[in-house]
Amino acid sequence: MQEITTTHKPLIVAFCCNWCSYAGADLAGSSRLSYPAEVKIIRVPCSCRVNPIFVLKAFQRGADGVILCGCHPGDCHYSTGNYHTRRRMALMFSMLNYFGIEKERTRIEWVSAAEGAKFSQVMNDFAKTINELGENRRLEDLRCKK
C-alpha cells in the first residue's frame, strides 16, 4: 500500500435528514462517540431534498467524499422520501463512477435517531475509506480556487 500523504486533509460532506440521521449524529455527540473532524454535516429536512447538483457541487469544490444519511427505508418521516433518494442516488453514484469518481467516494446509509453508535461507526469507516483513496481531483474546478 502506498503511503498516504499527510499534507492532504480530506473533505467529507455529509447530508443528514433532520428526523433520523441528524438526530443520530446528535446522539453520537451526546454519547461522545468520536468520528473524524473532516466530516461536516449539512442538515436537510429529508434525504430526498438532496439534489444531485449538491453532490456535484461538492466534488466540483474539491470534496473527497459525499455521504447521504436518511431514515431507514419504511421509516421515512415523510413516508416515501428515502425511497426516492435510494433510487435517485443509485443512478447518480453509478454515473459519478463512470466519470471516474470511485464508487467508494459516495455512499448512502440509513441511520435512525437511535443509532448514534452506527452514525459514528459509519463516519469512521467512510473517512477511513476516503483517506485510503487519497485526494480526489477528478471533478474539481480549479477556477473556483483563486
Region near other proteins per CB under 8 A, out of 24-32, 101-109, 126-134: 24-32
Q: Does 127 bind other proteins (CB under 8 A)?
A: no
The size of the chain, in residues, is 146
The three three-digit cell numbers of residue 59, written as one number: 466534488
**Contact pick of 4, 80, 90, 100 for other proteins (by CB under 8 A):** 80
Contact 26, 111 (CB under 8 A): no
Relative to beta strand 106-110, strand 39-44 is unpaired
59 neighbors 28 (Cβ within 8 angstroms): no
Piece in contact with other proteins (CB under 8 A), picked from 73-81, 96-104, 127-135: 73-81
Options 50, 67, 68, 108; binder of other proteins; rule CB under 8 A:
50
Tell me, residue by residue from 28 to 47, as one string, x for binding to other proteins by CB under 8 A and - for no binding: xxx-xxxx-x--xxxxxxx-
Chain-centroid distance of CA 53 in Å reads: 14
65, 58, 14, 95 alpha-carbon torsion, rounded to 10°: -60
Binding site for other proteins (CB under 8 A): 9, 11, 13, 18, 22-23, 25-26, 28-30, 32-35, 37, 40-46, 48-54, 57-58, 61-63, 75, 77-81, 84, 88, 120, 145
